Structure 1
Amino acid sequence: MPKVSVRNPRTGRNDYEVEAFSQPDVFDISYRLRQHQDDWHKYGIEERVIRLKRLATTLHRNLDSISAALELDTGRRRIARMEVEGVIASLETWTAQPNTAQEQAWTKGKSNPALKYRSQKVPYQLVGVISPWNFPLVLSMIDTIPALLAGCSVLIKPSEITPRFVSPLAEAVKEAGLSDILGFVTGDGETGKALINCVDAICFTGSVETGKKVALHAASRLIPAFLELGGKDPMIVLASSDIELSTDAALRGSVLSTGQACQSIERIYVAESIYEAFLQRLVQKAKTVRLNADDISTGELGPIIFEKQAKLLESHIRDAVDKGAAVLIGGEIRNIGGGLWMQPTVLSGVTHNMRVMTEETFGPILPVMKFSTTEEAIALANDSDFGLSASVFSGSLEESEAVGMELQAGAISLNDAALTSVFHEAEKTSFKDSGLGGSRMGLVSMERFLRSKALIANTGTPTPISAFSEEKL
């Protein structure tokens, strides 16, 4: 089986390999997972809950090995460990939820009392999950857990950029006794295509460009595609905002995980009356953010995981400067020991004719633009092809809420930023080019993986064909 080389983001060296699964390989694994799905479904949700609790236990037992693999792939230590802890917490939350997908009992019809009906919830037999490189574990499991709970088998294909976690995760899955209904394949885009050919529904997290290809491929097979794609999240800072609090939220929301998160703040709009004070304080705070280049156990910012992303960041900054923007801090990619790092980069004088304000950046860049009226701020925030999430900061919840109601995005953080990274209970869907399909958050997430079958019974006598005779007019 051919191999795919994996780059270490801290050293820049390819120091790991994974197998590149072919179409026949993926088919064989898919067939095995399908063979066991019916038994998994027939266990019932109560038994599935018990077995998924075992997975939480084995993940906890393998926490060190999984987080160590994530650390190598992403170049960050604390967030790697938080990923594993977050998935364990997610399993514990899901298995503590009431069954929201209970099948309906017989119900008497309203139009004809002789008819009654009930529903049956039927899971997709095999769900495919294609996950991205920025949060390898969390974004592999965010769709997997509710799909398993619904009674599906699941096949995961991680990004070839960050696949090391699969080996220790698969060991935890095996220890939990779930290998028959939860499998893994590794490889590049060709393996992803093979996966879509073998599943009954596909979940994809990644770029808009690739998401469109996934959607087209899924459409050719007439299977559903649940897509969470790119973002260009705006943050509106109204005149009543507290400068200290709003700059804290803006900085963390923009540069946490080196800005390599879909819900990162990528555009900041500040009321002109506080613009200079906000900008000055933001730059002061950005200066205190430390790289973890010399010691992974110190600092706040890890490396740029995907080296091609570094070139995109440079091109966005260059385009902005060429069109009149000023770099107040940062602005350069630094090669340290073969890895690529970037300080928080604050830009002023930005406009919407710059790529940094219209295209997804996925890095620690904070372009700040002033506005004169709330209506202008809303118009600027909505002037985007993306609609994943957004943030509003003001002196009161009521003022922030009023603005948030006008924004064209799936989740709005009020008086904070990027809250969907820590709060998964609220149902949301993506707007515009940021995605397709039902919410992956909230209790409704599981319902995406269940089809409704209607059983309709006649308690009277069947209608004869003579009832439709033309003479009856």
Structure 2
Amino acid sequence: MSAQNPEPGLVEGPHDPEHNPAASYALEPEYVAELTSQILSTSGTVAQGLSPINGQPLGAIPQSSIEDVEEAFVRARKAQEAWARTSLDHRAEVLLRFHDLVLEHRDEIMDIAVWESAKARRDAYMEVYHVALTARYYARTIHRHLDTERRPGVVPGATRIDVNRVPKGVVGIISPWNYPFTMAMSDGLPALAAGNAVVAKADSQTMLTSLIGVKLLREAGFPEDLWIPVAGPGSKVGTAIIERANYVCFTGSTATGKRVAAGCAERLISCSLELGGKNPILVLKDANIERAAEGAVRATFSNAGQLCVSTERMLVADEVYDRFVGRFVARTEAMTLGAGQDWAIDMGSLISQDQLDTVQAHVADAVAKGATVLTGGKHRPDIAPYFFEPTILEGVTEDMDVCGKETFGPLISLYRFHDETEAIAKANEGNYGLNASIWTRDAKRGRAIAREIKAGTVNVNEAYAATFASLDAPMGGMRESGVGRRQGAEGIHRYTEVQSVGTQRVYPITAPGFVSNELFAKGMAITAKLMKGIGKA
């Protein structure tokens, strides 16, 4: 979108476009009202959404009360009972219609995502693409994941076992601001495919982006009450969801994730949690330097580092350290920085003052304790209020906050290593284990090293997209980076209960009336040995 040719849903605003062309446009009040009307809210209170691009108001977001959350679950349970009786083919058909609508409305989705999060438009498009891929994947594989499966019975020919995947009921989804479209939608699509309903609370900072997804779900043919959005602070609305859901899917910080897990444990319900990370990238001595430098820029600075799987620690073999760092710094300094809808922008802004404060504090602490800034290191309010330059640190030591604490911003620390055993040990330091990246010309060796890395996803010669964009590949964290997995069979099976149905034919599994229990037991032992002999489980 150019400043001279605004997209539908945008109107001219009062802001001077001299420093930021996108700042001259605002959202149409009618458009915001249409989106926010989907929120279940009777409280009469609103929260004002502001764009981190320029501080401009985006619209009033109605806030949900505890009673609204309760009503959402009442409606969702009723809708879910009917939806669970629909055929898998029908669900797949609606998912594919949603896939098409997402792609058709990609400009609208990107516009709002950029306005609400200040991310680069190229990063916003990745959200559109990922949601469309997710819808198509579960539509095409729904029978593979959910069809009743036959299993061997205890008495071949006489015992039939069917394993069903039945829906949990109503799933509560609490999603973050950093990827406001894909995190709001992608976890819920397999829940719908599995026969569940969803009550969703997106982050308050990016509520409008998530509501576009809800609007398209309904246009695709999903029943209105099958996905109900609520809005409000996590401490209130999020807690109310945890207290009522049959399953909870949460993406956010480790500290909050632990509280979510405790709430679910109290009710003996399951949950999946994708939490924090301090993700490492390993550049081995045989790496293609140019490819590794390009990949490192994406691994570190995509979405201004506000990506759960982005890199914050870079371990580089001593033999190639100087050459690699030179290329990495050069590529970083060549990035186009900005805040707005321009496709040419490589890195957008941080979303809030809180994120900016964290990045600034980590850089200041590291420099004060002896680290060197190779490039970046400055707040750039001339670009956007919370913009911070892509920053590379050298000489980071364990006493610095940036060494072990998650930054979640455009900041990377460099470390030399002398052998691969040392690098693996360094990569596994700390309590996190979400993603890792390994760069080497020997892909087989890279995959062998990956098995030693304590991370839920490891990408060889790629930053994170090889696993993230492969929808059949499960994704999630080890250790304090979370529990459970999204994507693949694991991503839909988490929303189901496994039910075994046994049908016994011919005669029951007990001693006939004319055989003593002792003789029956001996016969069972003989049968067990025979079965072992012919290789039966």
In the other structure, the counterpart of 2:170 is 126
Q: 1:174 aligns with which of 186, 208, 218?
A: 218
Aligned match of 2:144 in 99, 103, 107? 99
Task: In structure 1, give the amino acid aligned to 2:108.
Answer: S
SS in 2 for 1:391: strand
Distance of aligned partners of 1:294 and 1:426 in 2 relative to their CA distance in 1, 3 Å threshold: closer
Do the aligned partners of 1:161 and 1:306 also contact (CA within 8 Å) in 2?
A: no
Q: Distance in 2 between matches of 1:89 and 1:378?
A: 33
Aligned partner of 1:186 among 220, 226, 231: 231
Measure how far apart 1:461 and its partner are. 4.4
How many Å separate the matches in 2 of 1:272 and 1:70?
A: 41
After the TM superposition, which residues 216-365 of structure 1 pair with which residues of structure 2 at under 5 Å, given as runs?
A: 216-293=262-339, 296-336=342-382, 339-365=385-411
Query: Which of 447-456 and 57-66 deviates more?
Result: 57-66
7 and 465 in structure 1: CA distance in 2 versus 1, 3 angstrom threshold = farther
In the alignment, what sits opposite 2:134? 90
Following TM superposition, by how much is the alpha carbon of 1:423 offset from its aligned partner in structure 2, in angstroms? Answer: 2.8
Match of 2:116 in 1: 73
TM-score by length of 2: 0.82
Q: Output the CA distance in 2 between the equivalents of 1:232 and 1:159.
A: 22
Decide which of 472, 478, 500 is 1:431's aligned counterpart.
478
Q: 1:61 to 1:204 in 2, by over 3 A?
A: same
Amino acid at match of 2:488: G
Say if 1:338 and 1:259 are closer, same or farther in 2 by CA, change over 3 A. Answer: closer
Alignment of 1:422 with 2:466, yes or no, is no
1:17 to 31, 42, 60: 60
1:398 partnered with 2:398: no
CA RMSD of aligned residues (A): 2.4
Aligned AA (2:50): R
What are the Cα deviations for residues 195-242 of structure 1, in whole angstroms up to 9, with x where unaligned? 112210000011101111111111111111100111111011111112
1:60 maps onto 2:103 in alignment? yes
Please state how far the C-alpha of 1:115 moved relative to its aligned partner.
4.5
Counterpart of 1:144, as a letter, is G
Aligned to 2:205, what secondary structure does the other structure show? coil
SS at match of 1:268: strand
CA distance in 1, matches of 2:211, 2:436: 36
Q: Residues 300-346 of structure 1: CA distance to partner in whole angstroms, max 9, x if unpaired?
A: 11110122011011111112112221011111122136521122111
Deviation, 1:397, is: 0.7
SS of equivalent to 1:366: strand
1:244-287 Cα offsets, whole Å, 9 max, x none, are 11111111110011111011011001111221222222111111
Unaligned runs of 5+ in 2: 1-42, 522-537
Secondary structure, aligned partner of 1:336: coil
Partners of 1:283 and 1:329 within 8 A in 2: yes
Query: 5 Å matches for 1:34-53?
Result: 34-53=77-96
Rounded Cα–Cα distance in structure 2 between residues aligned with 1:385 and 1:246: 26
1:371 and 2:417 matched: yes
**1:276–1:62: structure 2 CA closer, same or farther, 3 Å change rule?**
closer
The separation in 2 between residues aligned to 1:406 and 1:166, in whole angstroms, is 37
Amino acid at match of 1:40: W
Q: Secondary structure at the match of 1:267?
A: strand
Kept in 2, the 8 Å contact 1:4–1:188? The answer is no
Alpha-carbon distance, 1:295 to partner: 6.9
Find the aligned partners of 1:17 and 1:379 in 2 and give their Cα distance. Answer: 49
Q: Distance in 2 between matches of 1:422 and 1:461?
A: 50
Q: CA separation of 1:280/1:127 partners in 2, compared to 1, >3 Å: closer, same or farther? A: same
User: Is contact 2:316–2:417 with CA below 8 Å preserved after alignment?
Assistant: yes
Q: Is the 8 A contact 2:114 2:121 kept in 1?
A: yes
What secondary structure is seen at the aligned counterpart in 2 of 1:290? Answer: coil
The structure-2 alpha-carbon separation of the partners of 1:462 and 1:385, relative to structure 1 and needing over 3 Å to count, comes to closer
CA separation in 1, counterparts of 2:64 and 2:370?
Answer: 48
| 1:26 has 2:85 as partner | no
Residue number in structure 2 paired with 1:195: 241
Gaps of 5+ in 1: none
**By how many angstroms is 1:114 displaced?**
5.5
Mark the structure with the bigger radius of gyration: 2
- Contact 1:272 1:372 (8 Å CA) reproduced: yes
Aligned residue for 2:14?
Answer: none
Change (3 A) 1:10 1:377: same
Counterparts of 1:418 and 1:106 in 2: how far apart (Å)? Answer: 37
Asked if structure 2 preserves the Cα contact closer than 8 Å seen for 1:153 and 1:181, the reply is: yes
Q: In 2, Cα distance between the equivalents of 1:269 and 1:453?
A: 46
Alignment length, in residue pairs?
A: 469
Separation in 2 of the partners of 1:120 and 1:144? 21
In the TM superposition, what whole-angstrom CA distance separates every residue of 1:24-62 from its partner, at most 9, and x where no partner exists? 101111111110212212112111111222222333343
Contact 1:265 1:418 (C-alpha < 8 Å) held by counterparts: no
- Matched to 1:86, the amino acid is H
Aligned to 2:13: none
Query: 2:92·2:193 contact (CA, 8 Å) conserved in 1?
Result: yes
Identify which range, 386-395 or 329-338, moves more after superposition: 329-338
1:430-452 deviation line (CA, Å, top 9, x unaligned): 21100112x21223321111111
- Following the alignment from structure 2 to structure 1, what is the Cα–Cα distance between the partners of residues 139 and 469? 18
The answer to whether the Cα contact below 8 Å between 2:149 and 2:162 also exists between their aligned partners in 1 is yes
1:291 touches 1:341 (CA, 8 Å); kept in 2? no
Deviation at 1:462, TM superposition (A): 7.4
> What secondary structure sits across from 1:363 in the alignment?
coil
Structure 1 counterpart of 2:365, one-letter code: D
Please tell me whether the aligned partners of residues 114 and 341 of structure 2 are also in contact (alpha carbons under 8 angstroms): no
Higher alpha-carbon deviation: 122-131 or 416-425: 416-425
In structure 2, the CA distance between the partners of 1:45 and 1:279, relative to structure 1 (3 Å rule), is same
